Structure 1
Amino acid sequence: MPGSAPGEHGTAGGAHFAFTDRWGGVSAVPYEQLNLGGAVGDDPAAVRANRARAAEALGLEAAGVVWMNQVHGRDVAVVDGVWGERPAPEVDAVVTARRGLALAVLTADCVPVLLADPAAGVCAAAHAGRPGMAAGVVPAAVEAMVRLGADPSRITARTGPAVCGRCYEVPEALRAEVAGAEPAAYAETGWGTPAVDVVAGVHAQLERLGVTDRQVSDVCTLESPDHFSYRREGTTGRLAGYVWLDR
């Protein structure tokens, strides 16, 4: 694993985006192998080792990555450095205007959203689960970026591995509630029952905001054995998405 970037990764105009898969780490079952989540019951030493491996593979310093305490809300933290000894705040998006500072988001079915405007030197990472998408965490992150000088027409957006609308079955009442907040999230499973498409909801929000440079991962976490899925496994690890800008 060290020396080769995990999962999906790419660059765009000085912005770097990466999404991990579950392989190449040291965690034991049921977190095998590259669990990057520190609040799922895994051995903390294994999580630290995994975060170090992932950072090394991406050319980053593990101690220089900004993480969040994610709570399925829409709050955003604007940061200019790591938390250090302070606990990570309860937010679902982090935004920075500091080049070289890597931001990270943890997921295991929710949508990891990475955003960057290299010309303005601003990037963001957001955790868009069903509640956060409906509450508008991604628009809140874009609004915070704009306040730091970003222009939606210049923002590059990448969404990583997540449960797809064909697999995310929910009760009819919940589908109606989510679709009331974001109509694009209305979906049906592959077997004809009510579903929510969080990825489609996120991209519809970005489109309305004027973000046209968007890419979607083709990985459904529920279907992929190479990725963690909370809906499939219950107790399991967490994937990570990373974004940073060239200094």
Structure 2
Amino acid sequence: MFWWRNEVQPGVSVAFTDTGAGNLALHVGDNPGDVTARRARLDDAANLGNRSFQYMDQVHGNEVALISSYGPGPTADAMVSTPSGNQAAQPLSVMVADCVPVVLVGDAGDRGPIIAVAHAGRPGVASAVVPATVNEMRTLGAVNISAWLGPSICGSCYEVPEQLRDEVAAVAPAAWSSTSWGTPALDLPAGVRAQLAEAGVTVEYSGECTLENESLFSHRRDSRTGRFAGLVWTHD
């Protein structure tokens, strides 16, 4: 069910699912009841108790939504949750199948950790959705922010037209790449890592290539594929 899972600091866990957890997206033509059941099993696997992971309606933009409690998913490509009173931060999820799933955790002192997720595909890297997420976390009081990048398509596999590579590299130079067979490509994880470094955020983990791993969903491998998730949650 989990491709990678770790308690990244006391009381905070980060995980990325694999195909064993099944498709977690409602927008890919899957049976909604089956998706809801898989999401519930994932909540149980993370020992969330009476809580559930919050999902969002991702649109390849750079909107960052502030989430205080579980509810209808916002239309956004990033979410931030902060503890309030006796209420812990809301567990968060980001879905991908080649884009970069970014999970962030920051310290807010006695208030507890501030957590966030971001969906960084080609448009998101170009429009700086990850730096926007970091800025929102800092506005809310987060310091010492760290990031975990889940599996995504690598710079040796993500072939794009040369003009598109140049357009993205103009705003995210580290994303410029070539495929292993010599054609223009984009390295989205490298672009995200560079944006995080510029923002002073430490990258603790960067995952494998989705296209090269059959245990991960990849839209480039199969355009009718499902979506796996990047997750972050707090616990006792």
Partner residue, 1:67: 55
Q: 1:100 to 1:61 in 2, by over 3 A?
A: farther
- Deviation per CA, 1:113-139, whole angstroms, max 9, x where unpaired? 000014442110000001011100000
Q: What is the root-mean-square deviation in Å for CA atoms of aligned residues?
A: 1.4
Runs of 4+ in structure 1 over 4 Å off: none
| Kept in 2: contact 1:105–1:127 (CA 8 A) | yes
Partners of 1:162 and 1:213 lie apart in 2 by 15
Q: Which runs of 5+ in 1 are unaligned?
A: 25-33
Kindly report which structure 2 residues correspond to 1:39-118, keeping only aligned pairs within 5 A, or say none: 39-61=27-49, 64-83=52-71, 87-98=72-83, 99-118=88-107
1:89: how far off? 2.1
Q: Give me the whole-angstrom Cα distance separating, in 1, the residues matched to 2:184 and 2:35.
A: 36
On the 8 A contact 2:108/2:141 being kept in 1, the answer is no
Contact map agreement 2:149 2:203 (CA 8 A) in 1: no
SS in 1 for 2:20: coil
Q: In the TM superposition, what whole-angstrom CA distance separates every residue of 1:33-73 from its partner, at most 9, and x where no partner exists?
A: x1000111000111011111112111124852211100000
Residue 179 of structure 2 is aligned with which of 174, 189, 193? 189
User: Sequence identity of aligned pairs in percent?
Assistant: 47
TM-score (norm 1): 0.88
1:13: how far off? Answer: 1.8
Helix, strand or coil at the partner of 1:23: helix
Instruction: Determine the C-alpha separation between the residues in 2 that align with 1:135 and 1:224.
Output: 28
Alignment partner, residue 118 of structure 2: 126
The residue aligned with 2:3 is 7
Deviations 1:212-232 (A, max 9, x none): 243111x21111110111111
CA deviation digits over 1:7-39, x for unaligned, max 9?
Answer: 211122232100000015xxxxxxxxx100011
**Is 2:142 the partner of 1:158?**
no
Counterpart Cα distance in 1 of 2:130 and 2:151: 16
Tell me the SS of whatever aligns to 2:212: coil
Q: Which runs of 5+ in 2 are unaligned?
A: none
**Secondary structure of 2:167's partner?**
helix
The change in CA–CA distance for 1:100 and 1:77 in structure 2 (over 3 A counts) is closer
